[in-house]
Amino acid sequence: MAKITEHFTYEEVVFSQTASRYDIDNTPSEQELEKCTIFAQRILEPVRAHFGKHISPSSWFRSQALNEAIGGSESSQHCKGEACDFEVSGVSNKDVVKWIYDHLSFDQIILEFHDEKDPNSGWIHCSYRQGHNRMQCLRSYRDKNSRVHYVVLDLSNHIVESRNDEDEDSASISKDSNDEYLAKDNIFVRIINAIVALFNK
């Protein structure tokens, strides 16, 4: 087992049942592997250290061929080595998401298909980009017609509002200034509304 960080291995980065089954090459480039290593350093190792539990990555790096084979999104961050799906043994997926939200810098975190009644249901998708982290927190669910939806995750004790994927301003917000930014944003919106109301009188 070739280690990429203290607790994570190259084998975990490239592991895929689909790739094995259909003999799909899932070898990352040097640059992609470096991003996977950074992900392990910035997200997985701190999460492991905090909870003191084993982490099992279920889907990490995906070559274009593998991503197509499993029907992944074209812009999937898994293909760049920026994203990983995982769970922490014995810890509710939502609690893991909350801890990451409070303590780490990340690009996007999705609580995937989690049922509040079952703490172990679903999994966590998390991505990390160097220098351009959006701190976007979502959850996914299926409607009655099995259509998948992504909505902003409502974390109690946090002001979480809809953020635009492509918004470069919100992309550069650091973790520390994040809540403050949202507070300012609210005040700004209130002022604009007040001015509009004044003109409408």
Least distance in angstroms from the C-beta of 64 to Zn ion? 15
Least distance in angstroms from the C-beta of 56 to Zn ion? 14
Give the residue with the Cβ less far from Zn ion, 76 or 181.
76
85 binds Zn ion (CB under 5 A): yes
Instruction: Of 186, 127, 136, give the one whose Cα is nearest residue 163.
Output: 136
Which ranges of the chain does DSSP label H, i.e. alpha helix? 10-14, 17-21, 30-39, 45-51, 64-69, 93-103, 168-171, 175-200
Give the residue with the Cβ less far from Zn ion, 98 or 125.
125
Query: Which span (13-21, 36-44, 48-56, 121-129) binds Zn ion, by CB under 5 A?
Result: 121-129
Under rule CB under 5 A, how many of the chain's residues touch Zn ion?
2
Strand partners, 127: 83, 108
d(CA 124, CA 52): 17
Dihedral of the alpha carbons of 175, 177, 179, 184, in degrees to the nearest 10: -150
Given 125, 129, 134, 139, the residue binding Zn ion (CB under 5 A): 125
Cβ atoms of residues 75 and 82 within 8 Å:
no
What is the token pair recorded at 73? 């999104």
Give the residue with the Cβ less far from Zn ion, 45 or 85.
85
Residue at shortest CB range from Zn ion: 125
Give the residue with the Cβ less far from Zn ion, 4 or 86.
86
What is the token pair recorded at 161? 């509002």
Phi, psi of 119, deg, nearest 5: -55, -25
Least distance in angstroms from the C-beta of 7 to Zn ion? 20
Query: Which span (28-36, 83-91, 92-100, 157-165) binds Zn ion, by CB under 5 A?
Result: 83-91
Least distance in angstroms from the C-beta of 184 to Zn ion? 32
What is the token pair recorded at 37? 């290593």
Instruction: Report 4-63 residues binding Zn ion (CB under 5 A).
Output: none
Give the residue with the Cβ less far from Zn ion, 48 or 86.
86
Q: Which residues bind Zn ion (CB under 5 A)?
A: 85, 125
